[in-house]
Amino acid sequence: MQIVFVKLFSVNQIRAWDKYTIESGSITSAQLMERAAMACSKWISSHYPADTSFMIISGKGNNGGDGLAISRMLKEKFSDVSTYVIEDGPPTSDFDVNFDRLIKVSEIYAILEKEDLPAIANCVVIDAIFGTGLSKKPAKLYKDLIRHINANAHDIISIDMPSGLYADKATDHALAINATTTLSFQTFKLAFLIPDNATFCGKVVILDIGLSEKYAQENQSEYEMVDLRMIQDIYRKRNDFSNKGDFGYACLVAGSYGMMGAAVLSSLACLRSGVGKISSLIPSCGYEILQSVVPEAMCTTSGTQIVKNIKDFQKYDVIGIGPGIGRHV
């Protein structure tokens, strides 16, 4: 049985993943960007009515290139699509490719200073300013722009990541786009799973852009998360003649005086997860509590107020230790 995890790659690993996909798949980086933009534009087109107005605001990096490509594609289905580019620093080559494509079919407005910030009213703003490329707090014109968008836009779609957030760590400032939706690619970024970032990310949608499966399989990541595919892999349907012994025997070492609630909740959770049998090893002070609330659990006691003399665990298939034991064991 193969267990499937979602790997949370770092920004550097994702760049290497892009590069590997390009080199092994015989495509160009511009073609991969086109793929990403197509996935975003399809999602947007399927979630907004035809009379929606869009304003794309792009930086001059690859995230900005995504934004320009999305703008070009949206113009095929929506009549009101405007595009703004922050004129700061040199562009990437893929940004230039998409700038040249878009300028043939649409005007592109430059943001040179604070006075150039566009009026935002009754439109969906698409944020393609930084993506994963930010490593410091936004300053100067970027600071003004992010504040302007947050203050005036009611619906914001961020491409890859809300501009202003760090991808690989907690963000040490509050100056980031407050996205309604974040359209990201292939896998979650660590930033999406940090509680402090929830107000910035909104609803996170992961879009498949065909990055190499081989790279993902062969490279390790510092963090992994469980997803529906993993649950489906380990789920075993029970037939009418199943026996509880067919579904594993778990032992849970839990609880202490004043913290038996943790033992109760974790025992219930263990049973809910699908284990066939559970034996909860607890101090004797919690015996009546656990047996009354979780009668399905077998109960073994050791110690009076804390668990002591933990014995052989050989008969169990899996062991959990910790809920409510404090620092005593």
Supply the pLDDT for residue 279: 95
Supply the pLDDT for residue 328: 64
Supply the pLDDT for residue 107: 96
pTM of the model: 0.79
pLDDT for 192-231, tens place per residue? Answer: 999 889 889 999 999 999 999 999 999 999 988 877 777 7
Supply the pLDDT for residue 312: 78
Helix and strand numbers, DSSP H then E, in the chain = 10, 13
Supply the pLDDT for residue 83: 98
Distance of CA 18 to the CA centre of its chain: 18
Supply the pLDDT for residue 173: 86
> Residue ranges of the chain with pLDDT lower than 50?
1-4
Among 196, 189, 137, residue whose Cα is nearest residue 159: 189
Supply the pLDDT for residue 326: 85
**Parallel, antiparallel, or unpaired for β 223-225 and 298-301?**
unpaired
Supply the pLDDT for residue 165: 94
DSSP state of 57: E
Rounded to whole angstroms, how far apart are CA atoms 47 and 8?
27
99 Cβ neighbours under 8 A, 6+ residues apart: 65, 68, 85, 91, 108
Supply the pLDDT for residue 5: 52
What dihedral angle (degrees, nearest 10) is formed by the CA atoms of 98, 129, 76, 48?
160
User: Containing H/E element for 229?
Assistant: helix 228-234
Among 198, 162, 204, residue whose Cα is nearest residue 179: 162
